[in-house]
Amino acid sequence: MALTGEGTWFEDYPVGRRMRHVRGATVGEFENQMLTKLVMNTAQSHWNEHSMERSPWGKRLVFGLVTGSMVIGLTQQDCCENAIRTLGLDKMRFTAPVFHGDTIYAFSEVVESSPAPDRDDAGIVRFRHWGTKHGLDIKGHRVDGQVVFEGEQIALIRRRPVS
């Protein structure tokens, strides 16, 4: 059995292809608090509930890059399972607050595709990713599908091996 799947080679990402990644992930203490501390982010708004009680949000906020990492993580098997490297990111925006208990889903679109300048066995794909949440807004009202993150990822992806 191969280590990676069949539909994730450079040729599988024509410009304009859209993907809805079917697995979501609920962000809780483990994802936000643990990862924020793991990466040494000293902003206590992510891990001190008391400090946030009188803030406009009233509770801890999920670190934007934890949200971004969850969104990009959720795209990886479908977009980058055969990515030799992620070369860069661009235009990352954090468009709405995320709270513990919210569930994140990810969406992708291929916006550019080009041959790699220095190798024949791979090409460069630029993806645009969106993350949405299902959970509660700042006033405690239910939201379904609110966009919380947008960003682009540039990846060097292997071409389908010649058999």
Partner 1 sequence: MTTFDPAAFPPVPHGHQYEDFEIGQVFEHHWGRTFSESDNSFFTTATLAFNPRYTNAELARSEGHPRELVNPMLLLCTVVGLSVEDLSEGGGPFLGVNECAFPTPVYPGDTVTARSTVLDKRESSSRPREGIVTWRTEAHNQRGELVLSYTRTNLSAKREVPPG
- Contact 130/101 with Cβ under 8 angstroms? no
Longest CA–CA span in the chain (Å) reads: 62
Identify the helix (H) or strand (E) that includes residue 66.
helix 64-80
Pick between residue 25 and residue 116 the one whose CB is nearest to partner 1: 25
Does residue 147 touch partner 1 according to CB under 8 A? no
Strand, helix or coil for residue 143:
strand
- Contact 103/26 with Cβ under 8 angstroms? yes
User: From the CB of 107, what's the least distance to partner 1, in Å?
Assistant: 15
Which residue of 52, 64, 134, 136 would you call a contact of partner 1, by CB under 8 A? 64
User: From the CB of 136, what's the least distance to partner 1, in Å?
Assistant: 18
Pick between residue 81 and residue 109 the one whose CB is nearest to partner 1: 81
Question: What is the C-alpha separation between 114 and 48, in angstroms, rounded?
Answer: 45
Does residue 92 touch partner 1 according to CB under 8 A? yes
What is the binding site for partner 1 (CB under 8 A)? Answer: 3-4, 23, 25, 30-31, 34-36, 38-43, 63-66, 68-70, 72-74, 76-77, 80-81, 83-94, 151
